[in-house]
Amino acid sequence: MQYYSLLDLSPIPEGKTEVDALANTVGLAQAAERLGYHRFWLAEHHNMPGIASAATSVVIGHVAGATEHIRVGAGGIMLPNHAPLVIAEQFGTLATLYPDRIDLGLGRAPGTDMGTARALRRHMEQADSFPQDVVELLGYFGAAKGAQVQAIPGRDTHVPVWILGSSLYGAQLAAHLGLPYAFASHFAPAMLEQAVKIYRRGFQPSAYLAQPYFIMAAGVCAAETDEEATRLRSSQQMAFARLRSGAPGKLPLPVEDITKHIPGHVLAEVNQALGCSACGSRSTVVSQLTQLIENFEPDELMVTGMIHDPAARVRSFEIAAGVLKEMQVAA
């Protein structure tokens, strides 16, 4: 493991507003920089009452302006929602303002419900143009000599582009294009092992990357005791269950006994989806993260976690950073 990084969804806790969520994101990014995290990524989600990072590039600029050296980026931008030129201009502008600090992760899913997807795109394309759109976007970031359409700012910025995925499709595309790959194992771990094998075996060296580079995402909820971490994690479990049932909302307050709030069969599905994770005291988190890293050998681990109390969330990532820094040194 070369680096450890952090993914934030700008959660909006129950009893709080979007103003609070975005302020918490800035505070977390500043803490992440202090704690040695390599990157701080934000994700595009729309029409979600509990997530404040819908205008992802705007939030990235805000976070980059409030920090000094940590890399800031998208994990990710859902490219089917956008014209590649617009994304090239947005991230080219960010890279011009914050040189050598901006990353662009690209996803293929809409990141929302179909009604909102229609509102975003205004018309729905039946054909899957994601691979072509990625190639077009890469072109805008390169040398634009003679090109009729150019991204300004954007040309010659060479913003690092990542392919994100939770299935085998993204692994195959990232390998074919010779791009780095990040797997969304923090909420969809089922195909993780197979996707990593496909990516590494099929990787074709490119002008962007000589060797495969794989980020594994994992949930983390760390506290002083196993019991307190389990209690804090219940907020994310309830939020995920509500999302799966079609009733998304703000991030709930934690509860003492999650089994009293989520039916058993639903809780089993939630725990399976969130299974690529570490939850507990420092010693428990050490054991669980060690197992994950030994099993999948990521080049980089990106941790994430939804905790209602922003101070407890910072503390969780502080504990995780201490653990991961020791693993990094040992490696």
What does the pLDDT read at residue 331?
A: 65
Q: Which residues of the chain have pLDDT under 70?
A: 110-112, 122-127, 331
Q: What pLDDT digit, counting tens, does each position of 69-116 carry? A: 999 999 999 998 899 999 999 999 999 999 999 999 999 976 567 788
Element (H, E) at 240: helix 226-244
First vs last C-alpha separation in the chain: 7
Two structure tokens written together for 267: 């809780």
What does the pLDDT read at residue 123?
A: 58
d(CA 43, CA 51): 9
What does the pLDDT read at residue 144?
A: 72
| Cβ-contact 10, 53 below 8 angstroms | yes
The stretches of 274-309 forming alpha helices (DSSP H) are 282-296
Beta bridge partners of 102: 72
Domains and CATH numbers, the chain: 3-224+277-330 (3.20.20.30)
Q: Cis before residue 111, ω within 30 degrees of 0?
A: no
DSSP string over 22-69: HHHHHHHHHHHHHTT-SEEEE----S-TTB--SSHHHHHHHHHHH-SS
d(CA 139, CA 159): 11
What does the pLDDT read at residue 328?
A: 84
Q: Indicate the burial class of 154 (C-beta count within 10 angstroms; 0-12, 13-18, 19 or more).
A: buried
Q: What pLDDT digit, counting tens, does each position of 176-209 carry? A: 999 999 999 999 999 999 999 999 999 999 999 9
What does the pLDDT read at residue 99?
A: 98
pTM of the predicted model as reported, rounded to 2 decimal places:
0.95
What does the pLDDT read at residue 173?
A: 97
